[in-house]
Structure formats: C-alpha cells, structure tokens
Structure 1
Amino acid sequence: MSSAQDPFYIVREEIQDSVDELEKTILVASRDPAYYGLDEVELSRRRNWIGSARNQVAAVRRSVEKGKSNSTFSAHQDMGTSRSNHYTAQDNDDFIASESDRQLLLMRQQDEELDELSESVQRIGGVGLTIHEELSGQERILNDLSLEMETTSNRLDFVQKRVAMVMKKAGIKGQIMLILFLVVLFIILFVLVFLT
C-alpha cells in the first residue's frame, strides 16, 4: 500500500494540518492579544500545547516507522536463519502468524493513539471557534454600549444646557421657588412610596 493510500499517513497529514492551523491562529492572536481577550500566560500555555501536540505527532510517526523497519528487518533475518537451520514449514507458518498478529496489534495501538490525538485536536479547534464567537459577540455588545453611552451623553449635555438657561431666566426668586417645589414633590413621593 502506498503512503498516499495508507490511513496512517492520511490521518497524520490531517492532524499536522490542524496543528499548523492552530499555530497560525495563535500567531494572529499574539499580534493583538487584547483584541482577543488573551494575556501572555494564556498565549504561552497555548504555544506549549501546540509544541506538545507536534511532539506527540512526531513520536507516533517515529514509532510507526520504527515498527515497520523492525518488522521488515526481523522478518528478513528470521527467514535467513530459518533457511540456514532448515526449519520446518510449520515453524515458518507459526512465525509469520505471530509476526502478523504483532503487526496488527501494533497498528491497532497506533490507530488508537492517532484517534486520541485527532479528537484532542478537534476539541481544541472547537474551543478556538467558541472563543472566536464569544469574542465577536462581546465586541458587538461593547460597540452597542459605546453607541448608547454616546447618545445618552449628548442628551444629558442638552438637558444641562436647557436647565442652565431656564435657571438663568428664572432669576434668584424663581430658583428658590423651583427648589421649594422640588423638595415638596420629593416629600410627597417619599410618603407615597414608603408609607403606603
């Protein structure tokens, strides 16, 4: 089976691509961490995780390649020994069966490790997408809040100018009357709210 058809190589390439994408995402986030709501500790933690994932992929790849080369070497060595020692056909069949079983077991273990690594990368990718969506939502909320604050500030400035103009026109007697009226209104409202 060629390496283009071997499931190990296909999964390995997919995992490697996912790790590369995550590394690019971290690189983009590190340019403006405040925009994404990240600090240096979080960026460092994510960089360390990506390095660990790369090391796991490399270790699995080395393990598979070592397993393949060892099985090829041991098969050739054992076949040469069997010819020189004139092993029976049954011994050869047993050896081939045991080697085949060992290879199947090794491939299953490697498949399980690759599946675990793939799931881990997918989880991290999902977390990255969720973080991106949350940050986008928070950005929209902040923009809306900023717009509302600006509108409210403009209205408050307008009201303050109008009150200042009315106070100026009313004179000192008008101001005193207005203050007395507001105090009486406050007392009436206080009585209505707290005593009834």
Structure 2
Amino acid sequence: MPSQDPFYLIRQEIQDTVNELQQRMSRFHGLQATNPERKKIAQSVEEGCNSLAWQLNELDTAVDRASENPQRFNLTPEELSSRRRWISNTRRQVEGMKDTLRTATAPPPPVSAAETKAVAANDKFLSGQYENQQLMLKRQDQDLEDIEQAVIRIGRQGREIGNELAAQDILLNELEQDVDTTHSTLKAAQKKMQELIRKSGSNTQLVLIVVLIVILVILAVFAFM
C-alpha cells in the first residue's frame, strides 16, 4: 500500500496512542492505591481509550465503505481482511485497558456484620498477643538485668574474698616468722639458762628458774601482741 494511504496514517497515530496508554497503565499498576497520581493516570487512560474507541469506529466505517467499491481504492480482499483484523485486535486492546481500570478502581465489596465482627475479634486477638509478647520480653529483660547485677555482685564479693585471703596469708606468714623468731629466742635462752644452772648452786638455780619463767612469759606476751 502507498505510504500516503489515509488508513495507514491513522493506523500509525492510533498505534502510537495505544503504546502510550499501555505505558501509563504500567505506571498505574506500579503505584499504591492511596497515591493521588494513580487517579490522574486512570482518568487520562480512560479518556484516551474513549477517544481511541471513537477513532476505531470511524476507521471501521471507512473500511466498510471502501469494501463496497474496492477497485476504486485499489484494495484486494486480503487487504480489507487485514485492515479489519487490525481494527478488531486494537479494539480488544482498548477494551482490555478499560476493563482493567474498572476492576482496579472499583470500590471494595461491602463487608457483612459477621465479617466485621470476625475482623474485629481477630484484631483484638492479635493485639492481645502482641501485648503479651511485649510483656514477656520486658520480663525477660528484667530477669537478664537481675542476673547481670547478681553476677556483678558475686564477682565483686569474689574479689573481696580473694583480697581478704591474700591479706590473711600475709598475716599468717608474719605470724609464722614471729613464732619462729620467738622459738629461736626461747631456745637460745633455754641453753643459757641450762649453762647458768650448771655453773650456779642450788639456791641460785631456783632464782634463775623464776627469772627465766618471767622472761618467757614476757617474751610470749610480746610475741602474740
């Protein structure tokens, strides 16, 4: 067919419009229902579909008139059939977009009282479950905090006990050294006393024993002070 055939010029314009509306429909499906742009796109697509429907009807009428005298327009039966198929297919695409818009923008069906009650009961149940979970988590957090504080106290007490045992070890070592020193001193004094007893008489021996006992008592008192 010649490139200047009015049918093909109009067909190209219609096809470009269909492609543009399909792109808008893709944008429409990508938006949430609460987005205000979605409503504007739906209106523009609906207006475009109505305009295309009118153009397709006019084009279909023109093809019918041309089919009455195909020799005048140099049209074969195959060409006429091809044009009608394209018009029919394009009309289905336009109607499909309109049906999709009607379904997507239709208000939700009314909810019965029983369904409303069931939804409310389910929401109440879920809310109760959520509150119980939050309360349980709060108790677990409190228990973990108590355990942490107990561990800190036990650790602090353990360190204090360790320090006390270390201090007692030091005192015991010092006491042991004092006892050893006192024992050595007493042993040396005992040797000296025995030597004095051997060198002295019986009277002197009694006096030395008494003096030695006093010295031992004094040393013992100083050793354990």
Which category of TM-score, normalised to the shorter sequence, fits these structures?
0.3 to 0.5
Normalising by structure 1, we get a TM-score of 0.40
- Which structure has more RCO (C-alpha within 8 Å, separation ≥ 6)? 1
Greater C-alpha radius of gyration: 2
